[in-house]
Amino acid sequence: NAGVTQTPKFQVLKTGQSMTLQCAQDMNHEYMSWYRQDPGMGLRLIHYSVGAGITDQGEVPNGYNVSRSTTEDFPLRLLSAAPSQTSVYFCASTRDRGFSGAFFGQGTRLTVV
Amino acid sequence: GQQLNQSPQSMFIQEGEDVSMNCTSSSIFNTWLWYKQDPGEGPVLLIALYKAGELTSNGRLTAQFGITRKDSFLNISASIPSDVGIYFCAGRKGGSQGNLIFGKGTKLSVKP
């Protein structure tokens, strides 16, 4: 099983550029979420989705957009990259909104210069 | 935002030692989860706790859901070198959203 697959693994952007971080899961999970991980900050929720067509904001949503057109995919869009968005981004999926714990992808390390 | 206080921030272990770490909050949680993260990887779930007072083991790992529902503890017995990494606690409140809130992590390293 692939689980949760994130692409790319590494990315360097210039300030002002836009890009999409891809996330796909093959476990038929309804609930998917995006986190960012910064040194000493733990993981912070950016956006989440409780099913296809339904998304909502997490703790740190500014500068990011999401959509959920299928159960499998949950892309994260950076609209106009800023150095403050330099971070490691993790996508996660759960069967039941987190009761049984989230499965995480391997992460995307993003640097904005 | 809401926070979980995880301690210690870091610790050094010697092979064979027991290790303890904990997570506290001012809020009540319905679920407590413990994750381990290796360098360059995403967090991996170790133990999930669903009831106050619950004590659950996974091999040499044991975790407890505090009676007050505001804290949780993780113990690792007889540590081995592959235990090094960052351990995160996460709490989940009830309700329709119930997103996970993560602690800042405890970094386990090997004593030089």
Interface contacts A/B by beta carbons within 8 Å: 59
Average pLDDT, chain B: 91
B19 touches chain A (CB under 8 A): no
Residue B16 DSSP symbol: T
Residues 6+ apart with CB under 8 A from A19: A11, A13, A77, A78, A81
Residues 6+ apart with CB under 8 A from B38: B44, B85
Contact assignment for B43 to A105 by CB distance below 8 Å: no
B105 touches chain A (CB under 8 A): yes
Which residues sit opposite B61 in a β-bridge? B58, B76
pLDDT band at B100 (very low <50, low <70, confident <90, very high): confident
Q: What is the mean pLDDT of residues B35-41?
A: 93
Can you spell out the DSSP letters for A37-54? EETTTEEEEEEEEEETTE
pLDDT at B1 over 70: no
Contact assignment for B45 to A44 by CB distance below 8 Å: no
What percent of chain A has a predicted confidence (pLDDT) above 90?
79
A43 touches chain B (CB under 8 A): yes
For A45-70, what is each residue's pLDDT tens digit? 999 998 999 999 988 999 999 999 99
pLDDT at B2 over 80: no
Q: What does the block give as tokens for A29?
A: 């999970």
